[in-house]
Amino acid sequence: MTLLAPVSPPPADNPAYGYIRGLDGLRLAAVLIVVVAHFRLSAAIPGGFGVTVFFAISGFLISRLLLSEERHYGEISLPRFFARRFLRLMPPLVLVIVLTLPVYLIFDREHVLMSQILLALFYLGNVSIVANVFTPLPEGIHGYGPLWSLAVEEHFYVFFPFVLLALRGWSSRVAVLIGVLVFSLALRILAAYTVPDPESFNYYFTFTRLDSIAWGCLLTFALANESAKIYLVKLRGWKTFVLAIFLLLAGIAFRNQFFQDTFRYTVHGLGMFLLINAFVFGRATENLVRLAEWRPVQMGGRISYEMYLWHLHVWFIVGLFFAGNYWLQFSTSLVLTIVVAYGFYSLTTSVTKRWSKKVGSKSVEDERQKVYQTVSTADETKLPESSKRVPG
């Protein structure tokens, strides 16, 4: 009996509702990169790369769900879309602020800025960081810093559904996405020559990071087109998977500052485009997919949002007790981050489950069970008739 998940079939190429194998494993890898980097190992671990992985996965998954809704119902419901986003993102965000703010008021009052918290709640957490590039501003609470990436995502999803409603043709939608890729790169190049701190500006500014999400969206739209899909099907072997890994690592390893401030995000976006296509939809990586579908890994991916929200707060609180012993603080913080994230994920999803279903959210576990029941049934039909009989 193996601990790994059974081999499940790749999802349909065309956008459709249903569980997408492997994504939880990618999410867990991404959040662990971020968490470990933020636990004072950023010199060795590129935490920003983990955020880029999150962006690409988000773009792929959200655009796939939107197209699935359009194909199934004939249109995209904006109220339902924004309600789903609100129910998944806002309760954990409010909870983490409500529970951690009193701690900072006691132990780190001089860094508490209500403006920082209000901006984060309205998905403007990157505004003060970008403004700091031009005008020095108070530092704020370090633990709320990662909320900048939520702002970038929500800024993208504020206008993206409207683009889909306004442009119904495949080519026009793809043209907009390609335009986003070109615009973001061009803006980063411009900033590299004109902005005082282009590294920070290009990393945090919404319009310089939109392409990280758009690459994931582009994969969904390419798979929805029969002509484009022909080429993508050919890019699902080991060679493409290795090429994707090479692009991702090369984007980290090539330390030229101009490249890091500009083309790195484009190289990483292309790498994620190729990696998701090969990893999720290909057959060559099935052993890795089985590892990504292992229940502990899968659950880790599912609570990745809560891990992202809580990890620096846990680090701060644990540091009050173990500040003199780095590795004890590191290991304790990592374990507690997982425990706390799991607890609050279970709490918030159980509370919002009824409302989420009303606006079209589907249970990940239910969709996953459908996939594995299909696999089990298919395996059963392959057994010889004698092996299906019950002894006695």
> CA-CA distances (angstroms) from residue 291 to 8, 143, 277, 294, 369?
12, 31, 17, 5, 17
In the chain, the N- to C-terminal Cα span, in Å, equals 24
Task: Record the tokens describing residue 71, joined without a space.
Answer: 């194909």
**What pTM was computed for the model?**
0.92
- Look up the domain containing 197 and give its range: 23-378
Q: Can you say whether residue 77 is alpha, beta or left, with left for phi > 0 and alpha for psi between -120 and 50 degrees? A: beta
The angle formed by the CA atoms of residues 188, 190 and 193, to the nearest 5 degrees, is: 110
385 occurs within a structural domain:
no
7 occurs within a structural domain:
no
86 occurs within a structural domain:
yes
> CA-to-CA distance for 1 and 362, rounded, in angstroms?
30
- How many domains are contained in the chain? 1
272 occurs within a structural domain:
yes
Name the burial class of residue 245, with classes exposed (0-12), middle (13-18) and buried (19+) by CB atoms within 10 angstroms of its CB. middle
105 occurs within a structural domain:
yes
Per-residue pLDDT of the chain (392 residues; tens, 9 = 90+): 456 667 778 999 999 988 899 999 999 999 999 999 999 999 899 999 999 999 999 999 999 999 999 999 999 999 999 999 999 999 999 999 999 999 999 999 999 999 999 999 999 999 999 999 999 999 899 999 999 999 999 999 999 999 999 999 999 999 999 999 999 999 999 999 999 999 999 999 999 999 999 999 999 999 999 999 999 999 999 999 999 999 999 999 999 999 999 999 999 999 999 999 999 999 999 999 999 999 999 999 999 999 999 999 999 999 999 988 999 999 999 999 999 999 999 999 999 999 999 888 866 655 565 555 555 454 444 544 443 433 33
106 occurs within a structural domain:
yes
DSSP symbols for 250-271? HHHH---HHHHHTHHHHHHHHH
260 occurs within a structural domain:
yes
8 occurs within a structural domain:
no
The candidate with the shortest Cα–Cα distance to 35, out of 43, 24, 47, is: 47
